[in-house]
């Protein structure tokens, strides 16, 4: 389907591709992965011929006659309905339908109608409606003009259009950025059954694991293809790096042995010929090169020493919304404790952001009570806050304003470096930062406040997979409460142990896990009801089927269980620290072994020590798992 040969491409002086090659066959679902800034989106632009092929020897060839499809931009706000726009995205069907109404030659009319039958044109409206409702539109939305939708929903319509047109090669660049968890789950199933070839750029690890057949990695200006999803590629890369490290150790030992022979016998006439042959052997040896791993700056969320007793925050019979005429959620009874890790689920437009804004006091309650200690600090992140950054100011300016007056410049720069902004980046103006860098700055500024509660509303939209993994580590190390809204299933599963469901004007605890909720979503008919709320006067009626399970008696039992299990929590922490310390020692030995100045005897000593540490790490991991299971069992009420 697609062949990339010896691709060379530079942006100004920075090389993105150097001799990159890959071949993609028809029907493959390919996940294109790589760090932010490596050139993934540029490669899609080269395939689409939006950027000219840079050199004569480079070539990107698509099968002759193959139709290419991608999402160019959001649908324009016009009087056309969403359904009409999606139907028009199939250019051939659209042209034939128009010609069928205007053609006068009987033979041509017959040809047009035969072709319309061939492409199944008469079922097009049903197929388009299925795609639109899978992406979150309701049946009533289909007849609404596009100008009535926000930019995010018009982008969904653009995605629906390219999916409906079913090109031979479908290019998707971060499509889940515009979808909720439910829409992402539907898209995953759609791509699995898609009859043609797909290349998808995504940082959603679970999406890449579930719906792609191959992974194409862009690293060190090269392209590499392997069978399977993202985790399969990680395992293959780790095996290759381990093999290279082993080969390098052996090669270094061989070189040292040959060099020792040359040094010893090069001056002896009787051994001169043998010494010269070993010099030639040394010259012919090609160095085994181990690619340098790109470092991801970790995130860090420190909690203040002024720990607060549970509950941290409670909403009692609260109505939430944006004024008298826009009540979004009614009768909300929810509670947050210090160790809570909660993912909030529900389709877009149901009120997830309204809920967290009300908890963070970004919105006043319309009725009911919000109980929290006066000293509580809440860190709140949302994509909207990216617009609150001052474009003309630098990273250092924002850090300076967040620190106490008179803080030395060296300290300011050290704080910025801890957020991931070294000296060459710290004076960059905000308008020159990438989306991922803005997210890092906002999260870093929020962490400086040492909050008791972290509220993160879609924090990963601009983060690559490695940065998302770093965020997972930071959230799991954080000892306060976490409220998370995300479409990234991997992030939610790795950090949250409880779900809140926002649906039909209610916000309640959900008794199942993410897998249960995902199955529920995939089995449900998303277009059966008018799920998205419309602004209207008066309060929404509570849904009787959503039973309130957050009872005060259960809350007290949970709190008592957590206090009683405090010694077990300490055992978990101690086991985790022991495991981390052992892993650090293993990493140090691995780094030492990669140095070229060790003899074979020292290498053997280090390898024996590494084996001992690996055994200790396994014991520590077992102890940690047992302690964690005991703690979880103790607090389960």
Q: Is residue 190 part of a domain?
A: no
Residue % of the chain over a pLDDT of 70? 80
End-to-end CA distance of the chain: 56
Contact 427, 395 (CB under 8 A): yes
Residue 145 is given by DSSP the state B
Examine the pLDDT at 527 and tell me if it is beyond 50. no
Q: What tens digit of pLDDT does each residue of 59-110 get?
A: 888 888 888 888 877 788 888 898 888 888 877 777 777 777 777 777 777 8
Give every CB contact of residue 637 below 8 A, 6+ residues apart in sequence.
Answer: 554, 557, 558, 561
Does residue 483 register a pLDDT over 90? yes
Residue 223, pLDDT above cutoff 80: yes
* Residue 436, in any domain of the structure: no
Is the Cα dihedral 417, 217, 37, 8 positive or negative?
A: positive
> Quick one: pLDDT at residue 541?
37
CA distance 215 to 208: 8
β-bridge mates for residue 503, sequence order: 506
Kindly report the length of the chain.
Answer: 637
311 cis-preceded (ω within 30 degrees of 0): yes
Write out the two tokens for 593.
């072994």
3-state secondary structure 449-460: CCCCEEEEECCC
Q: Is the pLDDT of residue 530 over 70?
A: no
Mean pLDDT across the chain? 79
Which are the contacts of 581, defined by CB distance < 8 A and separation ≥ 6? none
Q: Is residue 610 part of a domain?
A: yes
Of residues 621 and 476, more confidence is placed in 476
**Structural domain range at position 610:** 567-635
Banded model confidence at residue 532, pLDDT cuts 50, 70, 90? very low
Please tell me the least confidently modeled range out of 118-132, 155-169, 328-342, 428-442.
Answer: 118-132
Q: What is the pLDDT of residue 596?
A: 65
Q: What is the pLDDT of residue 547?
A: 38
State how far the alpha carbon of 468 is from the alpha carbons of 201, 395, 462, 463, in Å: 15, 21, 10, 6
Residue 369 lies in a domain: no
Q: Examine residue 343 and state whether it is found in any structural domain, yes or no.
A: no
Among 52, 44, 54, smallest CA distance to 18 is for 54
Domains of the chain: total: 1
Looking at the domain assignment, is residue 585 inside a domain? yes
DSSP 138: -
* Antiparallel, parallel or unpaired: β 453-457 and 378-382: parallel
Residues 6+ apart with CB under 8 A from 443: 299, 381, 419, 459, 471
**pLDDT tier, 542 (very low <50, low <70, confident <90, very high otherwise):** very low
- Give residue for tokens 């939305």: 141
Q: Stretch 383-393: mean pLDDT, rounded?
A: 79
The pair of three-digit structure tokens given for residue 118, joined into one six-digit string: 């061939």
Q: Name the strand (E) or helix (H) holding 335.
A: strand 327-336
Q: Is 307 helix (H, G, I), strand (E, B) or coil?
A: coil
- Adjacent-strand bridge partners of 314: 335, 371
Angle, CA 167 vertex, CA 165 and CA 173 arms, to 5°: 95
| CA separation for the pair 90, 94 (Å, rounded) | 6
In a domain, 623, yes or no: yes
Q: Tell me the two tokens of residue 381.
A: 């992140």
Task: Answer whether 430's CB lies under 8 Å from 393's CB.
Answer: yes
Question: What does the alpha-carbon distance between residue 363 and residue 357 come to, in Å, rounded to a whole number?
Answer: 6
**Does a structural domain hold residue 450?**
no
Distance CA 300, CA 470 (A): 9
Classified as helix, coil or strand, 227 is strand
Confidence at residue 247, expressed as pLDDT on a 0 to 100 scale? 66
């Amino acid at each position: 389907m697609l062949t990339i040969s010896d691709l060379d491409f530079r942006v100004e002086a920075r090389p993105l591709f150097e001799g990159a090659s890959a071949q993609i066959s028809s029907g493959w679902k390919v996940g294109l992965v790589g760090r932010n800034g490596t050139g993934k989106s540029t490669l899609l632009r080269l395939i689409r011929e939006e950027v000219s092929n840079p050199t004569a020897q480079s070539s990107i060839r698509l099968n002759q006659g193959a139709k290419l499809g991608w999402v160019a931009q959001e649908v324009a706000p016009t009087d056309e309905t969403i359904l009409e726009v999606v139907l028009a995205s199939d250019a051939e069907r659209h042209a034939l339908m128009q010609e069928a109404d205007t053609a006068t030659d009987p033979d041509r009319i017959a040809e047009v109608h035969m072709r319309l039958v061939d492409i199944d044109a008469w079922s097009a409206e049903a197929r388009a409606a299925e795609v639109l409702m899978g992406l979150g539109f309701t049946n009533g939305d289909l007849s609404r003009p596009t100008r009535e939708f926000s930019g995010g929903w018009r982008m969904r319509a653009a995605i629906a259009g390219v999916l409906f047109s079913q090109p031979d090669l479908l290019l998707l660049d971060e499509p889940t950025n515009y979808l909720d968890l439910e829409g992402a789950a539907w898209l995953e199933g759609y791509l699995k059954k898609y009859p043609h070839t797909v290349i998808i750029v995504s940082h959603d690890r679970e999406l890449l694991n579930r719906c792609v057949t191959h992974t194409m990695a862009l690293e060190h200006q090269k392209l590499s293809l392997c069978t399977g999803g993202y985790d399969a590629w990680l395992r293959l890369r780790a095996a290759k790096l381990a093999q290279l490290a082993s080969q390098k150790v052996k090669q270094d030992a061989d070189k040292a042995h040959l060099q020792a022979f040359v040094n010893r016998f090069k001056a002896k006439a009787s051994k001169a010929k043998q010494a010269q042959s070993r010099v030639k052997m040394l010259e012919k040896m090609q160095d085994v090169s181990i690619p340098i791993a790109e470092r991801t700056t970790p995130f860090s969320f420190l909690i203040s020493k002024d720990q607060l007793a549970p509950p941290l925050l409670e909403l009692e019979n609260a109505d939430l919304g944006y004024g008298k005429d826009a009540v979004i959620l009614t009768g909300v009874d929810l509670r947050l404790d210090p160790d809570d890790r909660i993912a909030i689920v529900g389709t877009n437009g149901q009120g997830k952001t309204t809920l967290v804004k009300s908890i963070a006091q970004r919105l006043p309650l319309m009725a009911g009570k919000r109980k929290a200690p006066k000293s509580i600090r809440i860190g709140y992140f949302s994509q909207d806050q990216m617009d609150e950054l001052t474009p003309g100011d630098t990273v250092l300016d924002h850090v300076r304003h967040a620190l106490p007056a008179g803080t030395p410049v060296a300290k300011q720069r050290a704080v910025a470096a801890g957020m991931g902004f070294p000296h060459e980046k710290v004076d960059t103006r905000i308008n020159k930062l990438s989306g991922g860098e803005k997210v890092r700055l906002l999260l870093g500024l929020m962490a400086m406040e040492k909050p008791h509660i972290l509220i993160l509303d879609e924090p990963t939209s601009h983060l690559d997979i490695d940065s998302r993994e770093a965020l997972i580590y930071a959230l799991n190390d954080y000892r306060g409460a976490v409220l998370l809204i995300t479409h990234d299933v991997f992030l939610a599963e790795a950090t949250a142990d409880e779900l809140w469901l926002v649906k039909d004007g209610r916000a309640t605890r959900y008794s199942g896990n993410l897998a249960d909720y995902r199955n529920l979503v995939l089995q449900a008919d998303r277009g059966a009801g008018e799920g998205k709320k419309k602004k209207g006067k008066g309060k929404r009626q509570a849904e009787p089927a959503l039973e309130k399970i957050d009872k005060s008696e259960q809350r007290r039992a949970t709190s008592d269980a957590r206090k009683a299990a405090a010694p077990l929590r300490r055992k978990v922490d101690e086991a985790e620290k022991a495991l981390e310390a052992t892993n650090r020692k293993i990493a140090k030995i691995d780094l030492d072994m990669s140095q070229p100045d060790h003899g074979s005897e020292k290498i053997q000593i280090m390898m024996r020590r590494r084996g001992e540490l690996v055994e200790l790490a396994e014991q520590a991991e077992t102890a940690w798992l047992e302690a964690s299971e005991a703690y979880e069992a103790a607090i389960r009420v």
